[in-house]
Structure formats: structure tokens, C-alpha cells
């Protein structure tokens, strides 16, 4: 049922429109009337009409001002202005307010019927349009995580997937060329069993985590990979590296604070530096992993916060990992096995690495090789 509200300080106008509606329409009703602008504002919120016939000149608040106030509460209502005389300034302002019709009194019955019928058609079309928009938005929200996961996987698969990265960014409406990777790691420790168990648990609270991260920063949230979630954060090209670094740490602190209230688990965050080219996003990812290794529970480490001597220790292994990926992708089994053994030996030679830490590193390496194979 289409609802009409009539606002006029003359009762004869109100009664005339009510009569026309009753006589000519079965699916239209006059749901409310008002004799002043203030009364119209107060009643509109309760009645929630689809169409309002509004007189311009009324005692107190005039029709134009009443329309402005009602628009704040009911943005989709159609207004049809009634006026005893043609006043250009009022007509001009009415157009600016999106008024459907500007009628001069007295309005004959056939004209009124035509206008109401057209308003009803406009109402149904607008309702159908809103439904289509909501359906599209709902479908987009469902497919959005899939697209975001695709972008993260394309970043992890390095430069061979630059075209895919650009395609995903275009679909996700990411115009910034510069960005960095923020990695979240879950679990009380880095033992192999804990990593796998935490991976299973992470899937259960993933929706909450995604919502919290999205509420804090414009970003792309990746899937759960082992006990980690990778986040890509685009940044404007005009922001300098130091500014981005400070802002990224502040954002991570805010996310951690909110997550600690929703999720009962230990969380660590590693942040890579901002990169301006697609192929360098993988570098930002490896930097975030390097940083996270030095983070304790509920701690955030940016790659630039790691002491230089620690960076030197990890650089050698990272070069070996890159070589291993290259040899594995080319099918060179012999060299791949030799490099893997060298990485294992180097991890064992560092007295600071526990057995469980070494297990975790090798498990992560095997996951990377398995992903590469797929």
C-alpha cells in the first residue's frame, strides 16, 4: 500500500486530496495529514509516507524548510509541492531539493490523479532499483573475500603473477601503487604441533578478526595460512616511509587491542616496509616474516625495528630459500635437496634456535614448496 501524507494549512485542500485518492485508487491511502511545517516534520517520522504533498506558505516553518528537515530522516520520500502562486525562487529551490512536481492551486482532479499515478510508478521503480543494488552488494560482499585471497596468493607467488596482481587490484578498486604487508601470527609458541592446532583454531575466529582489521584500516585480508593471516595495506604515494611506518604500528596496536577483547589467544604482528612496485610486495612479505620472529606475545615489530646484526644473520638463509624456490620450480631435485640440507644445517648452527623453532621453520618451508608445486 502506497502511503501519502498531505501538508496544507487549508482543510479544504486536505479533504479534496483525500477524496480523490479514495475515489481513484485502491492501493493508495492518505496515511497522515498536517496543517503546518512543524507538524509535518514531527508526523513524517512516525507515518513514514512514500509521497508528501507539501504546501509552501504555512504558518511557522514553511514548506521548503520542512522538506529539508524531512529529507534528513526520509531521504527516499517523493515531494509534490502545492502553491497558490508561481514563485520563481521557491520553484528553483524545490528543484534543488529533488521535488517531483510543483503544482499551482487549484489543481484539477484529472491532473492530481495523473500525478499520483506517476508518483506510484516512480516509487515502485525506485524500490526495485534499491532491491537490485542490495542484491548486488550482497553478492559482492560474498565474493569479496575470495578476490582478496586471490590477491594475497598472487603476491606470494612473486613476479610471474604481476598481471594477476594488477587485475585483482583493479577489481578491488585499489588505485594506490604503494603498499606493505602486515602478518598476524597466532599461538602461544612456535612448536610444530601448536602451529597446526592454531591453524585449525584460527579458522573459527577468522570472521571476527577480518571484521576488526577491516574496521581499522583500508586493506586486503588474506586467508589463514598455517597459524598466520597476511594483510596487504595500500598507502598513498605521497606518504613518506617514516610516516607510513608510524601509522602502520599505530594501526596494528589498535587492532591488537580490539582483538584481545574478542579472541582468547596470543597474537604477534610483523610489518614489512612499504613498496611501490608489485614485484616488491613479496619482499615486504618476507620482511614481515623476518620481523615477526622477534616479536613476543602481543608485540608488534616493524622490519626497521630489528637490529642490524640480526638482519645480517637472516639474510643468508633468505637468499638460500630464494635459491631453493628457483631450483624447485625448475625441477632440479639434486640442487634442491642440497640447498634444503644447507638451510637445515645453518638453522642448527645458531645456538639461539630451539628444536621446535627449527621444526617450525622447516614446516613453513615445506608449505611454500607445496604451494609452489600446486
> Quick one: pLDDT at residue 60?
87
Q: Mean pLDDT across the stretch 343-367?
A: 76
> Quick one: pLDDT at residue 160?
59
188 — pLDDT class (breaks 50, 70, 90): low
pLDDT digits (tens, 9 = 90+) for 259-291: 888 877 788 899 999 987 665 788 888 889 888
Is the pLDDT score of 48 beyond 50?
Answer: yes
Closest listed residue to residue 275, CA positions, set 244, 299, 254? 244
Highest mean pLDDT among 7-21, 88-102, 157-171, 201-215: 7-21
Measure the CA angle with vertex 152, ends 150 and 157; round to 5°: 95
Residue 280: left if φ>0, alpha if ψ -120 to 50, beta else—which one?
alpha
Q: Mean pLDDT across the stretch 154-169?
A: 76
192 — pLDDT class (breaks 50, 70, 90): very low
Residue 77: left if φ>0, alpha if ψ -120 to 50, beta else—which one?
beta
Is the pLDDT score of 89 beyond 70?
Answer: no
C-alpha 226/C-alpha 199 separation (Å) is: 5
Q: Mean pLDDT across the stretch 199-212?
A: 77
Is the pLDDT score of 75 beyond 80?
Answer: yes
pLDDT digits (tens, 9 = 90+) for 115-147: 899 988 988 898 888 888 888 888 877 888 888
C-alpha 36/C-alpha 44 separation (Å) is: 12
pLDDT digits (tens, 9 = 90+) for 223-248: 888 788 999 999 987 778 888 889 99
pLDDT digits (tens, 9 = 90+) for 3-12: 999 999 889 9
198 — pLDDT class (breaks 50, 70, 90): low
pLDDT digits (tens, 9 = 90+) for 295-346: 887 889 998 887 654 555 556 677 788 888 888 888 888 888 888 888 888 7
> Quick one: pLDDT at residue 206?
84
Instruction: Please give the grid coordinates belonging to residue 125.
Output: 521503480
Instruction: Please give the grid coordinates belonging to residue 78.
Output: 517523493
Q: What is the mean pLDDT of the chain?
A: 83
> Quick one: pLDDT at residue 4?
93
Is the pLDDT score of 40 beyond 80?
Answer: yes
Cell 599505530 appears where? 250
* Higher local confidence (pLDDT), 134 or 53: 53
> Quick one: pLDDT at residue 141?
77
SS3 for the chain is CEEEEEECCCHHHHHHHHHHHHHHCCCEEEEEEECCHHHHHHHHHHHCCCEEEEECCCCCCCHHHHHHHHHHHCCCCEEEEEECCCCHHHHHHHHHCCCCEEEECCCCHHHHHHHHHHHHHHHHHHHHHHHHHHHHHHHHHHHHHHHHHHHHHHHHCHHHHHHHHHHHHHHCCCCCCEEEEEEEEECCCCCHHHHHHHHHHHHHHHHHHHHHHHHHCCCEEEEEECCEEEEEEEECCCCCHHHHHHHHHHHHHHHHHHHHHHCCCCEEEEECCCECCHHHHHHHHHHHHHHHCCCCCCCEEEHHHCCHHHHHHHHHHHHHHHHHHHHHHCCCHHHHHHHHHHHHHHHHHCCCCCHHHHHHHHHHHHHHHHHHHC
> Quick one: pLDDT at residue 294?
82
% pLDDT > 70, the chain: 87
% pLDDT > 90, the chain: 25
157 — pLDDT class (breaks 50, 70, 90): confident
Does the pTM of the predicted model rise above 0.85? no
Amino acid at each position: 500500500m502506497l502511503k501519502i501524507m498531505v501538508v496544507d494549512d487549508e482543510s479544504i485542500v486536505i479533504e479534496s486530496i483525500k477524496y480523490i485518492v479514495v475515489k481513484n485508487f485502491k492501493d493508495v491511502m492518505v496515511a497522515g495529514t498536517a496543517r503546518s511545517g512543524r507538524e509535518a516534520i514531527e508526523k513524517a517520522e512516525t507515518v513514514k509516507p512514500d509521497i508528501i504533498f507539501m504546501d509552501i506558505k504555512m504558518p511557522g516553518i514553511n514548506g521548503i524548510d520542512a522538506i529539508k528537515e524531512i529529507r534528513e530522516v526520509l531521504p527516499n520520500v517523493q515531494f509534490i509541492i502545492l502553491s497558490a502562486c508561481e514563485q520563481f525562487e521557491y520553484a528553483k529551490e524545490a528543484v534543488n531539493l529533488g521535488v517531483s512536481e510543483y503544482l499551482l492551486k487549484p489543481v484539477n482532479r484529472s491532473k492530481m490523479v495523473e500525478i499520483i499515478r506517476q508518483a506510484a510508478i516512480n516509487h515502485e521503480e525506485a524500490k526495485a532499483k534499491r532491491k537490485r543494488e542490495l542484491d548486488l552488494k550482497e553478492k559482492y560482499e560474498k565474493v569479496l573475500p575470495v578476490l582478496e585471497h586471490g590477491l594475497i596468493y598472487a603476491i606470494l607467488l612473486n613476479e610471474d603473477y604481476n598481471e594477476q596482481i594488477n587485475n585483482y587490484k583493479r577489481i578491488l578498486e585499489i588505485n594506490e601503487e604503494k603498499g606493505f604487508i602486515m602478518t598476524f601470527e597466532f599461538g602461544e609458541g612456535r612448536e610444530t604441533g601448536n602451529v597446526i592446532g592454531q591453524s585449525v583454531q584460527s579458522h573459527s575466529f577468522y570472521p571476527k578478526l577480518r571484521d576488526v582489521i577491516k574496521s581499522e584500516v583500508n586493506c586486503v585480508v588474506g586467508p589463514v595460512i598455517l597459524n598466520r593471516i597476511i594483510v596487504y595495506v595500500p598507502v598513498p604515494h605521497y606518504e613518506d616511509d617514516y610516516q607510513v611506518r608510524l601509522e602502520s604500528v599505530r594501526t596494528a596496536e589498535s587492532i591488537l587491542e580490539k582483538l584481545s577483547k574478542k579472541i582468547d589467544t596470543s597474537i604477534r604482528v610483523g610489518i614489512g616496509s612499504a613498496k611501490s612496485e608489485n614485484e616488491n610486495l613479496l619482499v615486504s612479505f618476507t620482511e614481515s616474516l623476518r620481523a615477526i620472529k622477534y616479536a613476543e606475545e602481543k608485540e608488534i615489530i616493524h622490519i626497521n625495528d630489528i637490529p642490524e646484526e640480526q638482519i645480517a644473520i637472516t639474510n643468508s638463509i633468505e637468499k638460500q630459500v630464494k635459491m631453493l624456490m628457483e631450483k624447485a620450480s625448475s625441477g632440479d631435485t639434486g640442487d634442491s635437496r642440497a640447498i634444503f640440507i644447507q638451510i637445515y644445517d645453518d638453522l642448527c648452527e645458531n645456538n639461539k634456535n630451539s628444536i621446535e623453532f627449527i621444526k617450525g621453520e622447516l614446516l613453513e618451508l615445506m608449505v611454500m614448496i607445496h604451494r609452489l608445486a600446486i
